[in-house]
Structure 1
Amino acid sequence: MDIFTTDARPFPEYLYGREDEIKRLISLVNTEDFHIALIGGMRRTGKTSLLLSLLKIFTHSKYKEEYNINDAYFPLYIEMDAVKSLEDFNSKLYNRILSNHTWRLIQNTKVEKKVKNVINCFKEKYETFKGYNLSIPSVIGIGEQKGYQDPYASSISRILESLSSCLYDEKVKFGLVVIDEFQKILDWKDEEQQTFIEILKEIYDVYHNLKVFITGSVISSTEKLFSTEYDKPMHGRRIDKIYLMPISVEASKKMLEDGFREHNINDELAVTSGVTIGMGIPGLLTYYGKFLVNYYSKENPEKAIEDASRDAYIQLGKEVEEEITHLKKIKDDSRYLEASKIIVREGGKIIPSKLAEFLKISVNSAEIILNKLTEIGFINKKNNEYEVVDNTLITLLYNEVSFKWDLCPICNKGKSLIQPFVNTVLYSCGHVVAVRKIFP
């Protein structure tokens, strides 16, 4: 496998620096009162790869033996891209159960017999409901006693009921359900969002052989939907939370070393500069590694390192830019983009009046912008100050960030490529120096 692939990687051994998270997730699956977990973290930290690897561990013979897993499990991965309503989710859930989509994603060539039996069982059980259609389940007359006003919610409930029943019938221990990029639900109608939470509540209360893992970059807004306060649907229920932080210097270094070794590149300066520039963000390290492999030259390695660093920031910066400029339900997305850049230029922290001064708008308008950026998980409010919590925001300044070579202040021999916002520098001599911590 190419370590610098930009696709999700369903292999635990390629999840650099995520050993503790893997152990915790395995432990959760085997915890009796666990039903739902929220997996959050800044963008490009490997949330999808982490959960695809979890599905692989519980379904592939090699990893089941390694992690001492004996029972059969049913993996189900549902990405929320292009899922814009309960109707869309209803269709995708149904088709994902019947197809081998999840198995292709986790790159399992062999489907366990018990899993095949569950699929066949599901087909038979679901056929008993009125309005059955092979491609998209009709909801006419289905599940009226479930109490949902929305007919698609009733259909989803029946799909889950059928799946849970088949897992019991075929002696499959658990269905492991991954719902990826859950923040897409924030674009749904408010009533559909609440109904979906009610469906998850039903899973929690009724279908104890379904374990749900929910990922999202916008974890703060997602957490509100899963509030356990007394007047909320999830009151009194355990919701586990795992937040992915940037990986360590050591993990970053090993990732780049292993990746470069695959391409016969042995250059300590390329590794240490990449660790520094990558800031522990797996996605940024991946882009850097991919570009470095393409540009590398033994005659001029420093030029290749500079070009790879610049293009990695451009690549990720444009992705972040795209997300901000396509925010839903806002009047002027250009202001949001400029506000994000201003916050970074100001060292990652700003107060509303200062932003209002920069943008020449009212303080109230500045607060609206800052609250929206908080809602989508780029910044957070602490007292009256807003600060960056997702360091991918730095890459928005890809046309402004100046990369430069820096000598190790300890030995004056090693060096590394740096940029103004790095927190930690790894020099080619091996020394690690923590610089002024601009962002948390």
Structure 2
Amino acid sequence: MHAHASWYALQLSAVLLWWALIKRMTGKHLYSLCSSSVITRPSWLSREALTLLVSHKRQIFLALPAALAAGAFAGQHALVRLLVALVVSLYHLSESSHTNRHGEYPVLYTAWAMVLPASFAHAASMGVAIHFVLSCGIAKCMVGGPRAWVFGGTMRTYLEVYGQSTSSKPLVRGLNRLLARRASTMIGASTLLLECVAVPLTLLLPGVWGMVGLHVGIALAMSLNVGLVFLTTLPTYVHGFSCDARVGSAEWRASPRAAQARKVLGLMRGGMGSKAERIARLTMTGRTRLVLATREAAQQDLVGTRSGAFGAKDAPAGHAVHDSILRATGFTLLHDNLVDAFDLPADAAARGADGGAAPAAKDAAAREAAELEMMRRLLMRLERWLARERRLLEASSARPLERAYFVLLDGDKTRVAKVLADAA
């Protein structure tokens, strides 16, 4: 098999297996499930181009396995490799604009790495694998803080959030509860060591099974869905971490070492306070939500307005607000460098109002007031980003989401019961 063809063949197998599992579990094709009431526009792509692209989502999705098959059988031809990269790019734009998930980025980057000559392509795919894994580790540290991941309960928060989920639950709930109570510190430390230390060392020492084991563990103890959606990254791990380019060679230098050094410096600057618990409690698991709206919807009374949660296939009829989770905020998604947005004001922390991992606050009223002040600050910063970038679009109207609110939902969590704060 040609040197390029091995990745194409592995990726084709992973895509077909992933699509078959989706069809088996849901009875639907992936392209019909890959939908949302909000779509995210890349900064370089016009609104009109994106809406045209997503209108042809089915054809683009079906072109992906055909392109990968062409690469597997005729990958020795540079024109074929370029064609595959273009099809993967269209697929990635269509998929990620709806889901915002990062699991498909290795497929995109490696498809373009394959355009290079064989020896450089293999080394570049190793760089892609390292870049992706280390970026995930850095994102965890920037949101949760390295110290909080090890000692402050960030991993326990992750486990508990998914353990309570009905739509993204772990394969073994008992294991989830056991690990949350007894081993969250060890798992948090091990995850950071794997993603931020062990994987970068593969520039010197080959290895792949740690990442495979990590995603198996995610499926068993945290979320089966999260574990499965990374299935399509495995070919990049296998192909990239199997690179045996000689250290110091031109091929080895194709791996993005400078980018990794910059990320390590970013890690050292990361916040040390745990934000994951606050993000989960205020915007995910309870009745309070951070929601986004078009300018037209914001001109109406929001009380009683339907709220479109992430995963909703279509926008609710009429004016609606849309959950910010996995659109503007999340455990590893904070637009406009809002890393510190979930930090309480310094004076509030000094008064003992920190609502972080501590289960019993000294003063519940003070904590609530401090968190409300924090949310107002977040709303102002988020609205500035929304108005400047105009990248989040309501799928049904193609209008940009420009306003942000902190709201209390009704008992069914489908409508706004009260607006708690806005950016005014």
Tell me the TM-score normalized by structure 2.
Answer: 0.22
If each structure's strand is expressed as a fraction of its own residues, which one has the higher value? 1
Q: In terms of Rg, which structure is larger?
A: 1
If each structure's helix is expressed as a fraction of its own residues, which one has the higher value? 2
Where relative contact order (Cα < 8 A, 6+ residues apart) is larger, the structure is 2
Tell me the TM-score normalized by structure 1.
Answer: 0.21
